[in-house]
Structure 1
């Protein structure tokens, strides 16, 4: 039987359940959301303040998705860039598991590139779509995290892949940590932890600190494995 082909854009829980074991630990104050030891540089603090000032008077819920992305989301992603890790937008992701294939375009990614192309995605971003065709952004995010985990596995061969994601609704960010196991099995497992919601207008510094911490920890893991 040919593997099932899944697309990020219309992914639902009903699509994932027969193929992936999903366990969700819910929203809690996980250690990876603790940014008490993260310090932003003076330059980044000024940039964060500029972004907050710029969007503070915006009615982001009434703006189209491209405008919200350009004004409130991508500028914060860029502030998490470190070393070889860059912020990317509109990135095609594709992965093949034994029982299914999954593909589509991620709204945003923080990851390592090679020769101008994304090689290793560390965090994937879904901007929630609005209107009558809108889907629950969680399941699109889970699909993108599964694809990213498989791509990273192809590079490092680690049996357990840690991958981060977030979905945004207007200027509100929700982060998710995923642990993917059994990447060579017919039914991989995805264990999920979710953060509270963070408002870009009020908590942009916390958003950037979480992003920077994720990137720093991933770079450290990468350097240790090299």
Structure 2
């Protein structure tokens, strides 16, 4: 993916967000507060034209031998007439406490498979590139996926993981990754 530069305005907004994050102990905050203060604002900064940040994204994908259905915590996806279209990047906020999953990546991969199926239904491309990210408090973990054989009994998901990034100290890098994903998808559809 091509490197994306941040504007002075974006850097100023990031500095403001980081000052808020430093004042609070993000690990101690509940999930909804972390989402509102740390995760969603980063997604909003990555928006470009019709590609917007979304929360509570419904996903449903009836593969030939199994079905995926649920709701992703968030996404970057195009909008037409105020309605979300097929997502480019799925964001899964890892649950903590009693409802915690031992591996938040597993749920994210299911959500990425569902997003790939939705995109495949729209453009019928035999290979679908999909992006995902899961967050644990202020830590971001990005995943890149290629889904092939979507209409077969055994679809193939090939994944690669990026290093983990700290939401405060690596905020610029996180935003550059988000913006690069948006720019890539934006250029593919223009």
Counterpart of 2:124?
Answer: 157
Higher relative contact order (CA 8 A, sep 6+): 1
The whole-number CA distance in structure 2 between the counterparts of 1:222 and 1:117 is 17
RMSD (Å), alpha carbons: 1.0
SS state of the match for residue 73, structure 1? helix
Counterpart of 1:202?
Answer: 169
Counterpart of 2:74?
Answer: 108
2:33 counterpart (67, 73, 77): 67
Q: Does 1:120 align with 2:120?
A: no
Q: Does 1:84 align with 2:50?
A: yes
SS state of the match for residue 61, structure 1? helix
Counterpart of 1:12?
Answer: none
Deviating more after overlay: 127-136 vs 45-54: 127-136
Q: Does 1:41 align with 2:29?
A: no
Give a deviation string over 1:101-134, Cα, whole Å, max 9, x none: 1010110000012222211200000000011221
- 1:58 deviates by 1.2
Counterpart of 2:22?
Answer: 56
Q: Does 1:179 align with 2:146?
A: yes
SS state of the match for residue 120, structure 1? coil
The whole-number CA distance in structure 2 between the counterparts of 1:40 and 1:217 is 15
Looking at CA atoms only, which structure, 1 or 2, has the larger radius of gyration? 1
Q: Does 1:97 align with 2:97?
A: no
SS state of the match for residue 112, structure 1? strand
| TM-score where L is the length of structure 2 | 0.97
| TM-score where L is the length of structure 1 | 0.82
Aligned length: 189
SS state of the match for residue 40, structure 1? coil
SS state of the match for residue 97, structure 2? coil
* Matched-pair contact (CA < 8 Å) for 2:50–2:80: no
